[in-house]
Chain A
């Protein structure tokens, strides 16, 4: 071995300091989220019971449960998915399998990036102007879900495109060489190999959609409704808006109640996120190529 010079010793010392500093920064970034989860669980879990989950809010929302909000969030998410998944998957198939490398494709990609970057409150304004007023859906689940669908479209497109592109080119070439058209190749070879990856992206989208508040405030979610929605043209309560309402708009709410709502909302979102991450890791381990 060479003897260490003063220079390399100094470099090694800097290295140790920097490594610790960077690790510290990473942990400081992650620590708050774990603390927050701890507080939410500690203060929220005493509130949660079967009755809390399955009964209506009572006494001007200072007591009772969250059932209408839970059901409302399910409605919003399902209708949003019905709208965004077909369009998003089609867009991803186009971009991954058909799109030529030209200016239009670049424009589409740029539009997707911008769609993801538009502030959620601007999406809300769009939803109000377009779906509620122009298309005359009124403030309804349909208008709110379509707003959410436009907003989360980039999530579906990007994750689907990634899983399509992860299918090796050789698979497609083998199929083409058998005389298959592009669509036959996509349907029989590419999609079956990418379907679980697409599912991962959809679960992620569900978790994103369930947590959004601003886009649904003026398009379909209501502060309080004494009944459950019966169709897509009804208004609905939603978990995210309900948390906003009980923590800022309603006087004399018992301190623990909003924590319960927050814990259920975060729980829903995190369970789906964990499912998405777990599925992705499992797929990666199992991939045959």
Chain B
């Protein structure tokens, strides 16, 4: 670049170099996110790969409910019951969380105003602040006797218990993201509908929700991902019994809970240890896919 007088400007002063150095330093900070996500994949694959190349049997892993890695004569690694366990708990959690989160998001975004809105938002954040292990403790001590008494069943640690707990845990993130999605719908859309004489609900139902639908789907997907990967609460509230559930009152065992409960007792490098890492790979791949799908929806809504 030349200045008006024709002489080249000297960009390379000390502060120019400092600026460059800082740019590179902060770039490394940003790039570290990519390094970490790849690192997670590499390290869990590294620990699990011996099993996948050895005792791993795809048919058994996905088709058998016999998860018995500590058997002396013939250990089995059937993860079907664990997958179904995770799916049933997450499914019930979504039945609880999706309508209530969307309802709350719509109320906060479209109906509540001023102080009410701020208070409700803070309370929803409060819900998100309670640690996972405390939710598990609540499942154990409050929900368990409550379910036994209400439904007259022998055990209260089951799909119902962990599903409700998980629903309450996934609700805040879904509410917050769904509210963001509705807030991103331009007010001019609403004003146009209001000018035609539409009521608040008509505006919400016919204009805001259809316009924000991609963001709402992304919110639900991220909530599903949250439920799917939750560990401590499910470990404590689901009963932790290997079982294909036939009703919400059956105890189940989740993928995450299996890793948490068994990893401490395994020898590093053993088949059992590597099998648990293989469960981790499965969890990683599924949550990664869910997050990618959510991102696709978010980007679609951005295009508008």
Contact = CB atoms under 8 A, between A and B. Distances in A.
A184 B16 CA distance: 10
Interface stretch (A51-59, A128-136, A165-173): A128-136
Interface of A: 8, 11-12, 14-15, 18-19, 21-23, 25-26, 28-30, 32-33, 36, 39, 86-95, 97-99, 105, 107-108, 110-115, 117-126, 128-130, 133-134, 150, 153-154, 157, 181-184, 186, 207, 210-214, 217-218, 240-241, 243-244, 247-248, 258-259, 262, 265-266, 269-270, 273, 277, 281
A98 B200 contact: no
Interface in B242-290: 256, 259-260, 263-264, 268, 276-277, 280, 283-284, 287-288, 290
Contact of A90 (B25, B131, B134, B142): B25
- Interface size class for chain B? 35 or more
B140 A247 contact: yes
A240 B131 contact: yes
A22 B111 contact: yes
A125 B259 contact: yes
Given A91-B26, A126-B44, A266-B131, A19 B231 contact: no
Contact of B229 (A118, A248, A273): A118
23 contacts: A11-B202, A22-B107, A29-B168, A86-B29, A88-B29, A91-B29, A98-B26, A98-B27, A111-B33, A113-B291, A118-B284, A119-B256, A119-B283, A121-B231, A122-B287, A125-B276, A154-B33, A182-B19, A213-B232, A217-B263, A240-B133, A266-B131, A269-B130
A125 B131 contact: no
A14 B199 contact: yes
B33 A115 contact: yes
Given A91-B32, A157-B33, A207-B129, 15 more contacts: A22-B104, A30-B123, A33-B127, A33-B130, A95-B30, A99-B30, A108-B34, A111-B34, A118-B37, A124-B260, A125-B44, A181-B15, A183-B18, A258-B137, A266-B130
B236 interface: yes
Contacts of A29: 100-101, 104, 124, 127, 168, 171, 175
Contact of A15 (B201, B230, B232): B201
Given A30-B127, A94-B29, A269-B131, A248 B140 contact: yes
Contact of A129 (B123, B137, B277): B277
B60 interface: no
B39 A22 contact: no
Contacts of B40: 118, 122-123, 126, 150
Nearest to A22: B107
A129 B291 CA distance: 23
B39 A273 contact: no
Nearest to B175: A29
Most B CB within 10 A of own CB, among A88, A90, A273? A90
A258 B139 CA distance: 13
Contacts, number: 269
B197 A8 contact: yes
A59 B231 CA distance: 29
Given A91-B30, A243-B133, A28 B36 contact: no
Most B CB within 10 A of own CB, among A88, A121, A128, A153? A121
Interface string B10-43: 0000011011001101111111111011011001
Contacts of A150: 36, 40
Interface in B38-87: 39-40, 43-44, 46-47
